[in-house]
Amino acid sequence: MSITYPLSLPTSIGIESIELRAVNAVATSQSPFTYKQQIVAHQGQRWEASVSVPAVRRDLAAPWKAFLTSLKGQQGTFLLGDPDYVTARGKVSLGSPWFLQGGVWALGGEWDDSVSYDYVPPEGGVTAVPSVSGNQSANSDTLVISGFSPSVSGVFLAGDYIQLGSASSAQLYQVLQDASSNGSGEITLDIWPNLRTNVVDGAPVVVDSPKGIFRLANNISSWSINNSSAYGITFEAVEALV
């Protein structure tokens, strides 16, 4: 069976830590005499990430090793999002499972797969099937979506994420300001990055486990093994833009 991109992250063990970076192409020049600055914001915006997996035994590390090697350097792509935002903080959220859901390290040093951290849904949570409201153009820093109950405050909170597209067209966006629905059930979101492409009326908006498409930052896949047969796996990633 041939490998099809984008890949999903392995589930044998969760991510231990992740650093997500929002990178902007902004040119700055400064006078050496007055220190006055000139700022020019270009269109370039992308996500970058540093990912670490816990030091684990061979059987748990094996799927991650195969995942990294299967990417074949920067050729392949994979889906990645903020693992602490399986659901949003706003009222559209129905809970917030922790990203190591499904297991913990036991006192004896073994991974216990039977443990699951499930949080109680926030009071007043809003269920919805959101979609894009009206055709909207690439490079816009706002997005109008619909499908919500009218006049609800705090449907999204600053820092929440959404996803447009799916599979190889998935795009990850962060909500920059708290957002409420208007009398028609529409919400205007301030987003980062700007819209990657034109979006059409009715296109679905993903609010649970939103992700974007990433690739490795370089063409080397590596892992370390210590004298206790514990594997250490870390890698750098950048958003895959075409």
With a CB cutoff of 8 Å and minimum separation 6, the contacts of 76 are 3, 5, 6, 7, 70, 215, 216
Q: Which of 115-119, 144-148, 225-229 has the lowest average pLDDT? A: 115-119
88 vs 90: CA distance, rounded Å: 5
User: What pLDDT is recorded for position 110?
Assistant: 58
Percent of the chain with pLDDT over 90: 79
Res. 28: pLDDT tops 60 = yes
In this prediction, residue 214 has a pLDDT band, given cuts at 50, 70 and 90, of very high
Q: Which of 54-58, 61-65, 98-102, 232-236 has the lowest average pLDDT? A: 98-102
User: What pLDDT is recorded for position 216?
Assistant: 98
Please give the structure tokens belonging to residue 212: 């974007």
If phi over 0 gives left and psi between -120 and 50 gives alpha, with beta otherwise, what is residue 58? Answer: alpha
Q: Which residue type does 240 have? A: A
Res. 27: pLDDT tops 60 = yes
Q: Which of 28-37, 72-81, 101-110, 180-189 has the lowest average pLDDT? A: 101-110
Q: Which of 13-17, 44-48, 128-132, 133-137 has the lowest average pLDDT? A: 128-132
Please give the structure tokens belonging to residue 199: 């979006």
User: What pLDDT is recorded for position 210?
Assistant: 97
Task: Summarize pLDDT for 4-15 with one digit per residue, the tens.
Answer: 999 999 999 999
Single pTM value for the model? 0.85
240 vs 242: CA distance, rounded Å: 7
User: What pLDDT is recorded for position 97?
Assistant: 39
Domain residue ranges in the chain: 1-81+214-242, 86-210
**Domain at 1-81+214-242: CATH code:** 3.30.200.190
Task: Summarize pLDDT for 47-72 with one digit per residue, the tens.
Answer: 999 999 999 999 999 999 999 999 99
Q: What is the DSSP string of 137-155?
A: -TT-SEEEEE-S-TT-TTS
In this prediction, residue 125 has a pLDDT band, given cuts at 50, 70 and 90, of low
Q: How far apart are the first and last CA of the chain?
A: 26
Mean pLDDT in the chain?
Answer: 89
Angle subtended at Cα 83 by Cα 107 and Cα 199, rounded to the nearest 5 degrees = 170
Mean pLDDT of 90-115: 54
